[in-house]
Amino acid sequence: MAELNNKWQHFILSGEFPERRRILEGLTVEHATTPPAEGMHTIYDELWHADGWAQIVINRDEELDKKWANGEVFPLEQAKTQEEWDKLVEHFLGLLDKMIRFTGNTEELKKEDEPGWLVEDYVVSLIIHNTYHLGKIVAIRQILGAWPPPEQK
């Protein structure tokens, strides 16, 4: 099981591109809420969206799923404070940790959730979704001159 969990940790937290925590390090609320160009989402938009989808998939948040079905897939307002931004980052990272714990249950992963869809399929789909939005966050950081994050001391 340790080997399996290492595979999931690689996919969810640290593999193929910068560690997910590192991608979000050192951002101010100003960075997070500044549109990089007209018509583009902010970093806050991208992370809010990724966090929301993760809540729907991981927590089975049916109320949020209904909002998404009605088109509420990005925030109506930007974060106002550093604390609000930091809470979103920590919440998202907490959901990733919850995914790691969840993937330790191989029996649960092999259950069919819907015809033709295993629980594991939803986990893989969420990993792909997160990768897409985290990649966009890196690109926005580059545009804003906020990449790479400052080195940890």
Pick from 133, 131, 149, 128: nearest CA to 41: 133
Contact 78, 42 (CB under 8 A): yes
Size of the chain in residues? 153
pLDDT the model gives residue 1: 47
Query: What is the rounded average pLDDT for all residues in the chain?
Result: 93
Burial of 73-97, coded b for 16+ CB within 10 Å and e otherwise, reads eebeebbeeeeebbebbeebeebbe
| pLDDT confidence of residue 152 | 66
Evaluate if residue 55 carries a pLDDT over 50.
Answer: yes
* Residue 153: predicted pLDDT: 55
Q: Is the CB of residue 86 less than 8 Å from the CB of residue 93?
A: no
Name residue, tokens 């939005």. Answer: 133
Q: What percent of the chain has pLDDT over 90?
A: 90
CATH of domain 2-144: 1.20.120.450
Task: Answer whether residue 2 shows pLDDT above 80.
Answer: no
Q: What pLDDT is stored for residue 5 in this prediction?
A: 63
- Give domain limits for the chain: 2-144
